[in-house]
Structure 1
Amino acid sequence: MVHGEAWTVKELFVLPNEYVYWSIQIVLYPYMTGLVAGAFVLSSLYHVFGVEKLKEIARFALVFSFALLPVAMMPLLLHLQQPLRGIHVMMTPHFTSAISAFGIVFMTYACIVGSEIWFVYRQFIVESINRLEKKERRGIENILLPIYKIISLGARDLSPEALKADHKAVKFLAGLGIPVACFLHGYAGFIFGSVKANALWMTPLMPVIFIMSAVVSGIALCILCYAIFMGLRRWALPRGKTHFLPDHWAGATELTPEGLHSMQDYETKMTSKYLLIFMTLAITLELLDIIFRGYTAVRSWDIVREVIYQRDFFKIFVLQYGFGNALPFIMLLLPGLTTRRACVACVLVLFGVLMMRWNVVIGGQAFSLTFDGFMEYHLPIIPYDMETFKEGLGGALLVAVTPFVIFYFINMIFPAFITDDEAH
């Protein structure tokens, strides 16, 4: 069977070798890289620009961005017919290929995020080593001790001069990481925008639109997950449990459910204001792109207009712009914002960005190169082979769940909820 034949439905005159080759995994690929970039930009608002109001959520966003990072390439590996060849991008780097350039940018960004986390938590790592070495019965912490010794890299100096140097390094890496993170996701828009054979993708605004929507989705996901995890901690604290909080954290005895609730509300409301700013920019760019297309009206505009205003009207203007943009924008803009309302708005924002990716990737393949036929993509729900599992609902859920599993284990090593003084 030809790749794409299982989920492609053709209508009118379509070339025999044309199918919807880029399916749900290629929708999730720019979506996941956008979450990575957006979460890092949120953490950099504090580390670089000194936005004290985002102090608590910034550290969580940094660790969560690191957990999202390995999943950024996961959709591509699931989509490849020969996934083991994916390592060739890393082994033979060059800038003549957009995909190969992505491998270079991806590894550079991974090194920046990993280094920043190391500098942020270096004092915590050293103090954990000293504490665990003095402890007789460690239990599961027997595993943590050698891990901390390895990642400490032998740098155990905790003098004021060394900690001050750590702060400078964090600020430098966070500032360097912002353009790299934007380029990491803007590259995905560049790939689509540079495909001259596709009328829907061929626009110079595509990379910028992808970057803005990436920041929006990353901030929305951090707000939602931060509120959920803080709620879990507030529920677990009276019961003597330490969900998402190590037993050895010094501030654990000072926490109260009321304090956690106050911190949750404050960080959620403050971060929502910045989410509104980036949403305004993202929506403006997307509407500007549609207006520009209609004004220039190139030869392919007739088929693109039919896809946008007729066949995909419900997906674009109702689901993406209505439920995914306008409704959460109004919910965040109304006075008296609560954590619950902010979380609902963030869910809608994430849905809207996902629909934007869907409409770009799937909608761009909706019409034939003949401009006289159309193709529809039907997401495989029940897999009957490995191909329909990877390119169907099962593969999508696997990609969606993996970051939270990774975050659970990373949080054991780098606690995402300790205070700034204890981290540094």
Structure 2
Amino acid sequence: MVVHGEAWTVKDLFVLPNEYVYWSIQIVMYPYMTGLVAGAFVLSSLYHVFGVEKLKQIARFALVFSFALLPVAMLPLLLHLTQPLRGIHVLMTPHFTSAISAFGIVFMTYACIVAAEIWFVYRTFIVASVVRLSAKDNRTVYQRLLLQIYRVISLGAMDVSKEAVESDHKAVKFLAGLGIPVACFLHGYAGFIFGSVKANALWMTPLMPVIFIFSAVVSGIALCIVSYYVFMEIRKRAAKGGWNFFLPETIGHDRAEFSYEELNSMQDHEVKMTSKYLLIFMTLALTLEVLDMIFRGYTAVKSWDALRQVIYVHDFTQIFIMQGLLGNVIPFILLLLPRITVRRAVSASLLVLLGVFMMRWNVVIGGQAFSLTFNGFMHYSLPIIPNSIETFKEGLMGALLVVISPFVIFYFLNMVFPAFMEDKSATH
């Protein structure tokens, strides 16, 4: 019988026989995906709560995209479990004596907040769609399906008077404000799980939850910049007469027509403005990471000799080259330089996503690198080509499944809640 973790663990020097890298790529993807959810929601809240009008377009996109990311947040855990059907027990038997059970409560609370906020944001659009589609005599199959969906999710609230719309605005602002601490707690708890493991010297630090929260906001904003840029490029292509298949909001809707120049101007404005906020949160995240590293070196606890071997020798490339240089320093400089361009902002955002992913990798994999004897080390060899269901789930293919899933969900979600459609009936 093959032990879980034996297929991808390479041992070096003196390692106990029952020690393996049990937490693999899916446990790296888990905090990474929850961070993207929280970061995207915080970006949308900059407009809904703090009234940053210049982020109006990308804020609506970030809200819908955050909802598309939400179901995928638990997918890595389900893929990692040998008995994934037991995952529902976390939601069915909630209690606060277990960190993972508390996550179930926070996750469901956050999901309800995001769903309710989207409903209030799009309520007048839903009502207008019901009226518009009901008036059509020759509805297509998609339009008939959309009509039924809109009738159900309208919940019978068909009032679009001025007072009702104002109430929607107040509800959106309240839910967005309430969602910020819940979103931060949603991801901060992942850092809490690692930071509370007293037996692991790399994880045991009170700064771990705070570092996770700020890096989550950074990664979420960076993903929204990259995704918004890509989707706007598709819309620009469609404006020239092609690629309409990639615009799901055109199915069953009377899409507002924008010229190539108008779309290009919107893309240029939103990406540049959002990159400024990315730089702010990135500064805070970098400060905390550097502070944590200095604190560890200064205090030099008993296990520092083993940690130093992991940080400066075994994982030097992952920590200082891929996370530090490529993922932090270079994008920070790119964003800090004057007269930022869209392509420079997108390039910096891609590097930021790499840096945050490597931070999660170095925490999860690096934390398991040294043996409990402090005399040996373990190396994680990511399964590339799966030769079993386990190496599929815990390898590159499983990670790609997690990465692709939110974009597939967003494609279909965008059919019902158009994230890019400039429609005055959609509230802000």
Structure 2: which amino acid aligns with 1:54?
L
Q: Is the 8 A contact 1:126 1:152 kept in 2?
A: yes
The CA RMSD measured in Å over matched residues stands at 1.1
Equivalent residue number for residue 229 of structure 1? 231
User: What is aligned with 1:333?
Assistant: 336
Secondary structure of the residue aligned to 2:139 is: coil
Specify the code of the residue in structure 2 equivalent to 1:256.
Answer: S
Q: Which residue of 1 aligns with 2:127?
A: 126
State the match for 1:394 in structure 2: 397
Q: How far is 1:342 from its partner?
A: 1.1
State the shift of 1:137 in Å: 1.6
Find the aligned partners of 2:195 and 2:268 in 1 and give their Cα distance: 40
Tell me, in whole angstroms, the C-alpha distance in 2 between the residues paired with 1:275 and 1:305.
31
Asked if structure 2 preserves the Cα contact closer than 8 Å seen for 1:233 and 1:244, the reply is no
Do residues 94 (structure 1) and 112 (structure 2) align? no
CA distance in 1, matches of 2:359, 2:52: 30
Matched residue type, 2:224: C
TM-score normalised by the chain length of structure 2:
0.97
Tell me what 2:109 maps to: 108
Q: Is the CA contact (8 Å cut-off) linking 1:229 and 1:244 kept in structure 2?
A: no
Cα deviation, residue 341, structure 1: 1.3
Q: 1:186-211: per-residue Cα shift (whole Å, max 9, x none)?
A: 00000000000100000000000000
Structure 2 residue 226 is matched with structure 1 residue 252: no
CA contact (8 A) 2:249 2:255 kept: no
Instruction: Please name the residue that 2:52 is paired with.
Output: 51
CA distance in 2, matches of 1:24, 1:262: 39
The CA deviation at 1:419 is 3.1
2:256 is paired with a residue whose SS is helix
Residue 12 of structure 1 and its aligned partner are, at CA, apart by 1.2
Query: SS state of the match for residue 375, structure 1?
Result: strand
Instruction: Name the SS of the counterpart of 1:245 in structure 2.
Output: helix
Q: Contact (CA 8 Å) 1:193, 1:202: kept in 2 or not?
A: yes
- Give per-residue Cα distances to partners, 1:133-183, cap 9 Å, x unaligned: 111122111111111111111100001000000000000000000000000
Q: Secondary structure at the match of 1:38?
A: helix
Does the 8 Å contact 2:96/2:102 carry over to 1? yes
Identity %: 75
Structure 1 CA distance, aligned partners of 2:54 and 2:164? 26
In the alignment, residue 186 of structure 2 is paired with which amino acid?
Answer: L
Q: Do the aligned residues in 1 keep the contact of 2:327 with 2:352 (CA within 8 Å)?
A: yes
CA distance in 2, matches of 1:138, 1:405: 26
The residue correspondences of 1:353-368 to structure 2 (distance < 5 A) are 353-368=356-371
> Hey, what does 1:208 align to over in structure 2?
210
Report how far residue 248 of structure 1 moved.
6.1
Q: Which amino acid aligns with 1:336?
A: R
Match in the other structure for 1:174: 176
> Greater shift after overlay, 70-79 or 304-313?
304-313
Q: Is the 8 A contact 1:15 1:370 kept in 2?
A: yes
Partner of 2:280: 277
TM-score by length of 1: 0.98
Q: Give the match for residue 36 of structure 1.
A: 37
CA distance in 1, matches of 2:82, 2:156: 43
Q: Who is 2:67 aligned against?
A: 66
| 2:374 pairs with 1:371 | yes
Report the Cα distance in structure 2 between the residues aligned to 1:422 and 1:180, rounded to whole angstroms: 28
Report the AA paired with residue 23 of structure 2.
W
| Aligned partner letter, 1:23 | S
SS in 2 for 1:298: coil
Amino acid at match of 2:203: W
Residue 84 of structure 1 corresponds to 85
Residue 311 of structure 1: CA displacement?
1.1
Question: How far off is 1:11 after superposition?
Answer: 1.1
Summarize deviations over 1:325-354 as a string: whole Å, max 9, x none. 110111111122111111111110000000
CA distance in 1, matches of 2:365, 2:241: 48
Mapped partners of 1:208, 1:117: distance in 2: 28
Q: Is 2:251–2:415's contact at 8 Å kept on the other side of the alignment?
A: no
Partner of 1:293, secondary structure, is helix
Which amino acid is 1:361 matched to?
V
**In structure 1, distance between residues paired with 2:88 and 2:98:** 15
Q: Show CA shifts across 1:346-369 (max 9, x none).
A: 110000000000000000000001
> Number of paired residues?
423
Counterpart amino acid of 2:35?
G
Q: Aligned equivalents of 2:423 and 2:40: distance in 1?
A: 18
Query: SS of 2:378's equivalent?
Result: strand
Helix, strand or coil at the partner of 1:252: coil
| Alpha-carbon distance in 2 for matches of 1:136, 1:420 | 23
In structure 2, C-alpha distance between the alignment counterparts of 1:360 and 1:175, rounded to whole Å: 30
Q: Distance in 2 between matches of 1:93 and 1:299?
A: 37
Task: Spell out, residue by residue over 1:67-114, the C-alpha distance to the aligned partner (whole angstroms, 9 max, x if none).
Answer: 000000000000000000000000000000000000000000000000
Q: Does 1:293 align with 2:308?
A: no
- Give me the whole-angstrom Cα distance separating, in 1, the residues matched to 2:139 and 2:203: 56
Q: 1:297-324 CA deviation, whole Å, 9 max, x = no partner?
A: 1101110011111111111011101000
Among 351, 354, 374, the alignment partner of 1:348 is 351
The 1-side partners of 2:403 and 2:252 are apart by 31
